[in-house]
Amino acid sequence: IGVDLDTMIPHPNVNGMAAHGGYCGPAVKPIALNMVSELARDSEVNIPISGIGGISDWRDAAEFLLLGAANVQVCTAVMHYGFRIVEDMIDGLNNYLDEKDLASVNDIIGKSVERVTDWGNLDLGYKTVAKIDHDKCIQCNLCHIACEDGAHQCIDLKEIDGRVLPVVDEPECVGCNLCYLVCPAPDCISMARIDDGTNSVTWKEYSKNGGEIKGH
């Protein structure tokens, strides 16, 4: 639902009256993928899972299959582009299977489910930091702004060879990925794993140990 700022009438509406509708299209895809993967992880679910929500090309379909869907459904994309999009998806999936040397789409169903876990099982000792390629930097400073105002204030602007460039303070970087997401320059920012001597520990273990992470 939205509101026309000139008339102050909500839209879409019927004779000036509006009601809340549903949620569809690409925006719903992460939610749908989560629901499919949660069902696939549940040992009590013993029926085929049908994936739907934000599927618009073969890549989307493949993600749903990998996370446990036995088949997929398409609605919004067909409304936009017609049924021909289904043929495009089939062609794309066939090419993907050929590249992976797989005989059938059944070979990828649920293949990624074992890689999905609860947040409390993730390794807090696994650290990544942002790496900025100054040769590819266009000096827009969006990474600095995003980090300064919305993250951990660990990207400083420094003069290097006559250019003011963003420099990552690695000990302060928590690998949140925000700079990578806002950077408009292709391949300028990457996330790299580093070993800072911290032992592997999950959130559950961290909480049990009274909030202590030991080094090695």
Give the residue ranges of the chain where pLDDT is below 50: none
Distance, CA of 145 to CA of 141 (rounded, Å): 6
Q: Which two tokens stand for residue 56?
A: 């618009």
Task: Report pLDDT for 210.
Answer: 73
Task: Report pLDDT for 214.
Answer: 63
Distance from chain centroid for Cα 91 = 25
pTM of the model: 0.83
Listed in order, the ranges of the chain carrying CATH 3.30.70.20 are 119-208
Q: Which CATH number fits domain 119-208: 3.90.1170.50, 3.60.15.10, 3.30.70.20, 3.40.50.1010?
A: 3.30.70.20
Element (H, E) at 182: helix 178-182
What is the DSSP-derived secondary structure letter of residue 14? B
- Over the stretch 53-67, which tens digit does the pLDDT of each residue have? 999 999 999 999 999
Helix, strand, coil percentages in the chain from 3-state DSSP, rounded to 5: 35, 20, 45
Distance, CA of 33 to CA of 53 (rounded, Å): 8
Q: How many CA atoms lie within 13 A of 105 on its CB side?
A: 20
Q: How many CA atoms lie within 13 A of 213 on its CB side?
A: 15
The identity of residue 105, as a single letter, is: V
Task: Report pLDDT for 215.
Answer: 60
- Over the stretch 184-197, which tens digit does the pLDDT of each residue have? 999 999 999 998 78
